Every structure is written in C-alpha cells, then in structure tokens.
Structure 1
Amino acid sequence: MRQESISPFQFFSLFINNFIVISPALLANAVTETAKHDFWISLAVGYMLGFLILWALYEFSLRQTNLNAAPATIFGHVALVFYLLYLFVILLVTIRLFVLLIHTYHLPRTPEAVVSLIVLAVACYAAWYGLGSIARISILIFITTFSVLYFFPFPVLKDMSFVHLQPVFAQPVDMIGYGALQALASCLEVFFLYSLIPMVRFRHSGKRYRLLFWSVGLALAQNLFFFSLIFFTFGPFLTEKMVFPNIELFKYFRLGDSFERVEAVMIILWVNAITLRIATLIWLCKEEVGRLFHLRSKNVLLIPLSIIFTFLPFLVIRNISELLTIYHHAWMYIVPAGIVFYLLSRTHKELPSLKNGSDGAGQVKTGHEQHTGSPSQAHPEQEYPPFPP
C-alpha cells in the first residue's frame, strides 16, 4: 500500500491545532488549583521538560521509515494494543470535552449523543479521504485562527494585573512540582503526531529540526499566551473555581459597546480546531488497528469506530467531574505509559536471527546447507520452485 505524504507546513499546522484545543480548556484551573500564585513556575518547568522529551521522541521518529509497517514480534503487537488503548483514551477525552462544552453553553436541549454523532460524522468524512485531506483543512484552520485569535485579547489588557505573580514560592515545593507534572503531561499528550514524521517529505535534511522548533515552540508560546491572559485577568483563586476558564475569558472580551458577544467567534474557531483533532485521532486509530491486524483496506474501519465512539464517551466519562479528575490527576500517568507503548510498538527486531542458523524466511538450515550455502548453490543443476508470497 502506498504511503501518503504531507509537507512540513502541513505537519506544523496539524501540531499547532492539536496542541491548543485541550490544554487551554482543562489545564489552567488544574495548575492554579495546585500551585496558586506559583502557577507560572510550574508551567515553565513542565514545558521545558516537555520540550526536551519531545525532542528525544522526534529523534526517534525521524529514524522510522514506514507508518504501515507492522510490528515484527508478538511483543510488538502487544505493545501496539496498549498504544491503541492510549489513542482511544485521548479520543474519548477529546469527544467528551467537546460534547460537554457545546451542550453546556450552546445546545443545552440537544441530546449529547446527537452532538457526538454530528462531530464524528464530520471527522470520519475528513478521515475517509486520507491524511492529505485533513492536513489541507488544517492549514486553513491554522491561518484563520492565527489571524483572528491574537487581535481579540487586546481589550482585556487594561484589566490584567501582574500583582498575581506575588508572592513567589509561596506554595510548598511538592505542590509546585505536582503542577509541573500536570503541565508536562498536557504538553506531551500530542506525541502521537510524531508517528506521522515518516510521512513528511523534507526537501533538505537540514530543515528537519526546524520543524521541531517551529511546531513545538509556537505551540508552547500560544499556550503560555492564553494562560497568561487567564491568570493575569482572573487571578489564581478565581481561575481554579472555573470549569472552562478559556470560555469565561472569551465571554469577558468586549469590542466597545457595540460588539459584546465575541465568544461566538472564538467558539467557532475552537470547534473547527477540535473537529480537526478528532479527525486526526480517528484516522490514526484506523491506521493502527489496520497495522495490528495486517489489513490493506483500512477505511472500512471508520464505520465501526465512529459507531463505538458515538456512545462510548458517555459510558466511560459520565460527567464533567470525572473528566476533570482524569485530566488533572490521571493524565500524568496515562501519557508516559502511552509514550512507552508507542516506542515499543515501533521497535523492529527481526526474529529468528540469522546468527541462529536460519535464513531470511525464518527456515532453519540443515547442517549441510550451513556449510555449502543455499540448496541452489549446493546443487546448481536442481531447480526449486519459487517461494510462495
């Protein structure tokens, strides 16, 4: 099967759009609840560690050659199963967050299953046409979001107060460290996009690391920008009591006395970005399931996956309290486990080894063949039928 390819800028836009849709909604109140005024210290430490780990994962992904290559061992297949479970958890949290936010703020009378079905139908439609289609849509969403998002916060600059930075190191070190772990897990959750690195077509090998710096650097800068707006506008004690601080910040925006409902525009941009994230995740789930079962035609998997994830999020995560508990406290264990299983599922080690007296097809040679070479070399006059594919 021919592997798809994307450009570095398409990967860059995919990374940014996947990075900024979850953590601004769920991380700000988690870290402020833990570290209070030392929120910025936890965030800085977590993001610096996250950048170093993402660099190491990027180095590993550059050495991979094919997204469609199945694991070579049973151990690799088992690791792939657990990595798939990680992707399923990420997809469940993303869908549940989308449904809760839309149902709470905009469509309270619409059943949650209907909202989930609509977003999955759109995401699966994009995934059906492949990663190239998702990547092209991602560029449009990124350009629109980047053009609009940085002009709306200016009206709240007059209400920001830097006094919230004091006192420094008022919280115990263990609480600041716990907040750093929360920020680190939020930073690393999008490592699954590194499985797409083999599909990126680099014109010059020297530009490969520019992709790392620009994608991760700008994504972290965007999050720091939004977290700064939330923290300096509401303060740590008000932020920790908000369920969705980013939505409350959007509602706080005003453009004079004539245009007050700015959050409608921001919600549209956020809905586009999170739908793209769901499309990317369900495409990856389809590809990984196909790798696990050695399937050639993988698009048929989109139908059962869409049906399962229409209802499964409501069975696993029943309300907003469970969603916040998972993201605030369990996420720092789920994400590292997903990274470990990702690395193990990508390890290609051929078995049995040639050093053990076996040929490339895994057939053990006889003693005469080991000394004289292959059967055709030992008896050149004898013809053997071709090995079946």
Structure 2
Amino acid sequence: MFDIQEIRSQFTILNQQVNGKPLVYLDNAATSQKPNSVLEVWTQYYTELNANVHRGIHTLSQLATEEMELSRRKVQKFINAKHDFEVIFTKGTTEGLNLIAYILTQKLKKDDEIIISYLEHHSNIVPWQLLCERTGAKLRVIPIDENGILQLDYLDQYLSEKTKVVSVNQVSNALGIVNPIEEIIAKTRKNSDAYIVIDGAQSAPHFTIDVQKMDCDFFVFSGHKMYAPMGTGILYGKQEVLEDLPPFHGGGEMIATCSFDGTTYAGLPFKYEAGTPNVGGNIALGAAIDFIGKIGQATIQNHENALLEYAQRQLLEIDSLKVYGEKANRTGVVSFNLEGTGISSDVGMILDKMGIAVRTGHHCTQPIMDFFNIAGTVRASFAIYNTFQEIDSLVEGVKKAQRMLS
C-alpha cells in the first residue's frame, strides 16, 4: 500500500484553497500538477546549469547536455524504445502529430487513404485533414457505438493497399475509453503497409508503455499530463522510418553541413530537433519519469482505476445523471451530464465555487459530442494524488448543482 498523504505532500499546490474551500483538482486529463521534485530540477537547471546544449565546450553547456541526454535515455526506458535516438523532444502531443503528418506528405498521393477514429482529439484529426488537402488523400473514420466503443469491423472494411496511415489514440481524452490498439495494429500489419501512429497523451501517464511490443511506427505523448512541465513532449519513431523521412523544421542543430549550394542533415535524433530545445523542461521530464518510477506504474494504474470505479458508482446513484462510455473499458476519466439541467459549464461553475476543478465542454472532441447529440460533458479525471474523499466532495457538489439547476 502506498501512502497517499505522503504523495500529496509532494504537491504544494494541493494545499491551497479555492473560493474558501480546499482545492479538489480533478482536471488531470487536461494537465497534471507537478511534484516538488520536478519543480526543483527545473529550477536547478535555470539557477545552476543554464546554457545551450550540444553547442558549447564550456562546463555549463557540457553539464546541461549531459542532463538532457540522460533524460532522453530515461524516456527510452520508460517506453522501451530500442534506441535513445528514436526519442525526439517536442513541445507536446499536438506538435508530434503535426510533425508526423507533415513529414509524411511525400509518401501520400491522390486517393490514398488515412484511417482515424471517432474518438480522436482534434489534434489527431486536423493534421490529417491538412495532409489530405496537400496530397488529395482521403480520410476514413472508424465509427463508435452507443457506448463509445470502436466498431473494428469497419477497420477490416477500410484497410486496403490504399491505406497509408492509421492513427488512433490509446485512450480517449473525452471519455477515458481504452482502445484495443494491439488488435488495431495487428489488423493493420496484416492487411496493409500503412504507417501506424499512436496518440499516447492519455495513456502514458497511466500505463506501462512498450513501443517495441506494440510495434507502432510512431508514438507521441505530452509531458505536462504526466507530472512534467508544460511545453514538453515526446515523439518516438522507429529508426528506419525516421531515417527514411525528411526533416520537419530547418535551422540550427538539425544540419550536418550547410552551404549556399545545399545542406545535409544530421543523424537522429537531431534531424528532428531544430533550434534551441526546452532544455529545462526536457530535464524535468526525466524527473517526472523518476517520480512515476518510484511509485510504480502498476500502483498508479490500480489507484486511478479504483477512483474511477468508486466515482462512477457514486455518481450513477444520482437521478438523471448519464455517464458516457459507462460500459466501455476505461481509465482515469468519468464524463457525464445531469440531464435536464442545462449546459455542462453550469455544473462546472457551481463545482468551482466549491473548490472542485473539473473540465466542461467538448474537450476538443466535437465529433464525439455530435455523435451523442450533446454540446459537451462534465469531465472528472484522476491522478495518483486524488483521494476517495475528493470523490465524495465531487458527488456532493454534483448533487448541489442538480438542486440549483433543476
């Protein structure tokens, strides 16, 4: 058993009050809070090591480079990549997905097909729409049923020699549904030679990730959802895939030689890391991985799943409350509405007056909301520092909102 109070003591921000009430932070799918150990590493970089990396022979530059490359190796181990140079530092999941969609431009042509799903965040929809506009390719979408579960029979129908990309999330940010990516990848490998892209923004904070076992071509996630600073993220790509594709940004760091007659590109990972990186943030990402490792990913997953089960059971006892994806395999998120009480933001504002932070609206997943014929939901999402007592506060807050809005 882990000591929840000891864990909470590592998050100074949780000690404050909001609107005169103890903060109950249940918006972790949007961003997690940061433990003191991560903030201390970030501060230490700027107070003791601040220098640009890979470019200087002086001591601070060498030390900063060592720390950032150590962080890259921590990420490599965290996702079980074969090589550390398959780990590319980005600003987050959105940049990673846009990077992939851009560098694949030359690999697609008119009437090729890209497969995504109804459960995607806008950042795993719009970049592919832009790629279709550039190339004439077509977008195909795996539908969902009334429980939010992907209908993979359609994937079987869609896969063909025209399929060039299959891009899906491992966990839905809006509903918390865990998608069967192992089955999706196996079907794709069997029936096409498409690039396989996995959006791990909502899975990396909760699951053990093994990209080699997964056999995806790309895996992307954000640091800020897993206890690291904002502006950090990772793009994993298989060595042979990244070496075959063109750069994303041009500039410093990503060149081998540069002249007015032409430029040659650096090897991995620097080919995809043009310009000065977020050195302090990238080092702090390594500290966040250390934090997760000390607790253990299995412990984190078990605790968050227990919170989800408890929250759903308690919430469903409230009359006229609907949980979306109730019967699906989910993790870390309960997304719901009070039927007959107006829009989700009304509930969110009442909860905020009670110090309870949740997310309301469409969660950058408007197709999901359109499917359920709603404008948005109230979303409570959990992290390792959340408690069952906080769930009780949420439930009481929802009951109060129902009384006020009915």
**TM-score > 0.5, shorter chain as reference:** no
Which structure: larger Rg?
A: 1
Q: Which has the higher contact order (CA 8 A, sep 6+)?
A: 1
The structure carrying a bigger strand percent of its residues is: 2
Task: Indicate the structure with greater helix content.
Answer: 1
**TM-score of Structure 1 vs Structure 2, range by shorter chain:** under 0.3
